[in-house]
Structure formats: C-alpha cells, structure tokens
C-alpha cells in the first residue's frame, strides 16, 4: 500500500528518541534502482526550513538515491547549526547506504524554532539503515513503519498505491493534520514508482498531480515552512510508462492521499468539498472555492450544523473572479438554498449531521470548474493548536 508497493524501494521507520512519546520518529526510503530519477515540489512559503533549503539543491539534477524524514522537530529557524544538522543527517544516510550525500533528500516536521538532537538523528539513521540492510525492508510492513514515523498530530498513517495493467506501480505515504494549505505542495509526501520514466517526465507528472490535488486541499489556510512532495522513480519494473497514463495514475494516488489528509485534519467534524462550476476560468473557480474554504464564519457555521449560505456568498464576494453578484446559485448537500442571488429552498431542509458536506457554487460566468477540500472550524482544532508546544 505504501512506498514499498513499487518494486526497487526499501524503507524503514524507527524510534530515534526525537519524540518524548517513544514512538517511531525517523524514516528512510532508499531507491534501489536501476534508475535514480526524481522530482519534487516544495512550499512557496518564503520562510523555509533548513531541510527544504537543502533538498531544493539536491533535486536540481533530478537524481535522488534516498530520502530521510523525521518527526519531532521542524528544524526551521534554527540558524547555521540547524542547516549543519540537515547536512550531517544527509551525510550519515549517505555513508550508511554508500551513496552521495548530494543525492539524499531531507524532510523534517514538528515544532519550529527548536534545535534537533543530531546525536539522536544519527542513531536513528543507523537503526533505519540497519533495518534496510538486514530486515524485510521491501515489505508492506516496512512501508507502514516509515509512514508511521513521519506522523505528528496525525491519528493514523496515510498510504495509497495503484498498479497499472501495463505492469508498473505507484505507491505513496503522507503526513499532515494541520497547516494544510497550498504552496506547490502540502505536508510531507513521498511517492515511489517503478515505471521507466526520466526525471523531466516525473517532474511534469508531479506538477500536474499536485496542482489538482494537494494544492486544492485547504484545511486551515496555514502554509507550512516544511512542505515537500517527492516522487522517486526506480525503473525496476522495466516497463516504460505512457506519460499521460502515468500522470492520471499519479494524480489518483495524490488525490487519495489528499483526501486521507482532509479526513484526519486536526479536530475536524466535517469534511467539506466546495465545488465551483461555470466559472470564467479555472483560476477563478479555485479563487472562489478557496475564499469560502478560508472563511472562518462559514467553517464555524458548518461545525454548528448551520447551513448559513449567506456566509458562502459573502466569501465569494471578496474575490476578483468574474461573476454577477446577483446571479449566483448555491446548493448545500443537494438542497438548492439560493438561486440567482435569492432564497430558494428553506435552509432547514439541509442536513449537516453527516461528516461529508458538499457545497455547489454556480457562478454562471463560463464553463470552468474546480473543487477545494476543507474542514469545519471546531473547539478541538483551537484546543489542539493552542496546546501544540506545551
């Protein structure tokens, strides 16, 4: 199901002691080849963590042999010492796997502004690489252990996989429960494939896939400093994939992971899909959907099972999208509550007791559409994030 679903990959997840809970907190995924093709996208937050700064340089030649990920600390705003920690972590992985440190991506997640313990990281790298060398590191269990090691406030590991009739596979793992907002990538995601594709092809497919999946998950409007989505290609299937077919498959795996992230968002009691149709452009549809997704008034109303469609229109009106403000239709969970900017069916007919909520906004301005995924705003979300560092 996970990063080991595709052939040519080994993984391990171990407890390095970075988390006080004693749970797994460090993972290594190794590309066993024969290819070492790769692509990655990162947060567009200008305030980037040290692992992102490192990995942006690593990916420039499209060659990645391994990726090391830790939870228990973001290694962001930790100065030159923090960057050196990133560098030495990559070197430790490289030494153990007999590869170049310049071919090792590094990812971290956790609290900003706290130094990571380099000694613990190195112990974790030793244990993880030992497990890869001596254990059943290409098994489903190994993939699950890696997925568990990158969790922070997640309540469960996120994994997905797809096998093409042509004989190649895409597998992936993700972490994320808070700070779910777009910026080319969201959260930490590692995707593997054994299809024969070069780095340029992987990059093209990845950018398409993230644009319509992770980039449209906007749980709380907060963009992380550490967001990374990496795609590694081993070519171990020896099957050259059709790029269009591969892109569709990759997009499906990314959508699966994005929906799992949405369903595990911090404190959420409703999963909300905001579908915007008949927009003048796709960008307009995204802009409108995102404005509604980021409306705390709307999200609080959904938490209270209140189908307050006026808050939907108020959010739409803050955008620069093309539409007639008095020609918009809104339906919530199948009930047409607003037509042409006027009340339609009574809002009391809307049932918001199920977890799934669907909001349909028709702009009547064109033929483009987009869907944004978000969650409601709950007491639990506020509590979890007010106590995150305590």
Is 80 labeled as catalytic in the residue annotation? Answer: no
| 27/147 Cα distance (integer angstroms) | 8
Quick one: residue 75, left, alpha or beta (phi over 0 = left, psi -120 to 50 = alpha)? Answer: left
The dihedral of CA 369, 371, 377, 382: what is its sign? negative
Q: Tell me, what DSSP letter sits at residue 207?
A: H
Contacts of 246 (CB under 8 A, 6+ apart): 164, 168, 170, 193, 195, 197, 201, 205
| 19/104 Cα distance (integer angstroms) | 23
Structure tokens at 63: 């060659």
Contacts of 240 (CB under 8 A, 6+ apart): 195, 196, 197
| 17/81 Cα distance (integer angstroms) | 20
| 156/166 Cα distance (integer angstroms) | 31
Q: How far is CA 238 from the centre of its chain?
A: 28
Which of the residues 85, 186, 225, 378 is marked catalytic?
186
Question: What angle do the packed helices 79-97 and 50-58 form, to 10 degrees?
Answer: 50
Q: Catalytic site residues?
A: 186
């Amino acid at each position: 199901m996970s990063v080991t679903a595709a052939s040519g990959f080994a993984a391990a997840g171990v407890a390095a002691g970075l988390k006080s809970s004693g749970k797994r907190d460090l993972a290594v995924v190794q590309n066993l080849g024969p290819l070492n093709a790769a692509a990655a996208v990162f947060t567009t937050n200008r305030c980037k963590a040290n692992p992102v700064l490192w990995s942006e340089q690593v990916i420039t030649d499209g060659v990645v042999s391994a990726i090391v990920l830790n939870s228990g600390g973001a290694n962001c705003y930790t100065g030159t010492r923090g960057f050196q920690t990133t560098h030495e972590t990559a070197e430790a992985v490289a030494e153990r796997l007999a590869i170049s440190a310049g071919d090792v991506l590094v990812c971290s997640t956790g609290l900003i502004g706290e130094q990571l313990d380099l000694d613990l990281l190195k112990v974790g790298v030793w244990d993880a690489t030992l497990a890869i060398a001596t254990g059943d590191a290409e098994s489903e269990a190994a993939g699950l252990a890696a997925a568990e090691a990158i969790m922070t406030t997640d309540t469960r590991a996120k994994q997905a996989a797809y096998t093409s009739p042509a004989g190649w596979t895409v597998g992936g793992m993700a972490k994320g429960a808070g700070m779910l907002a777009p910026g080319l990538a969201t959260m930490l995601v590692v995707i593997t494939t054994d299809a024969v594709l070069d780095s340029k092809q992987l990059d093209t497919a990845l950018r398409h896939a993230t644009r319509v999946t992770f980039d449209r998950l906007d749980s709380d409007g907060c963009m992380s400093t550490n967001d990374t989505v990496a795609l590694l290609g081993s070519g171990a299937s020896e099957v050259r994939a059709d790029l269009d077919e591969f892109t569709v498959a990759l997009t499906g795996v990314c959508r699966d992971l994005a929906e799992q992230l949405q369903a595990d968002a911090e404190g959420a009691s409703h999963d909300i899909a905001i579908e915007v149709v008949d927009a003048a452009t796709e960008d307009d549809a995204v802009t409108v959907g995102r404005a509604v997704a980021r409306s705390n008034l709307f999200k609080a109303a959904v938490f209270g099972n209140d189908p307050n469609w006026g808050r939907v229109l108020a959010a739409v009106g803050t955008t620069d999208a093309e539409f007639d403000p008095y020609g918009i239709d809104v339906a919530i969970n199948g009930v047409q509550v607003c037509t042409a900017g006027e009340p339609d069916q009574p809002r009391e007919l809307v049932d918001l007791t199920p977890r799934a909520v669907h909001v349909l906004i028709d702009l009547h301005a064109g033929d483009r559409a987009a869907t944004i995924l978000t969650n409601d705003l709950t007491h639990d979300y506020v509590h979890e994030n007010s106590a995150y560092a305590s």
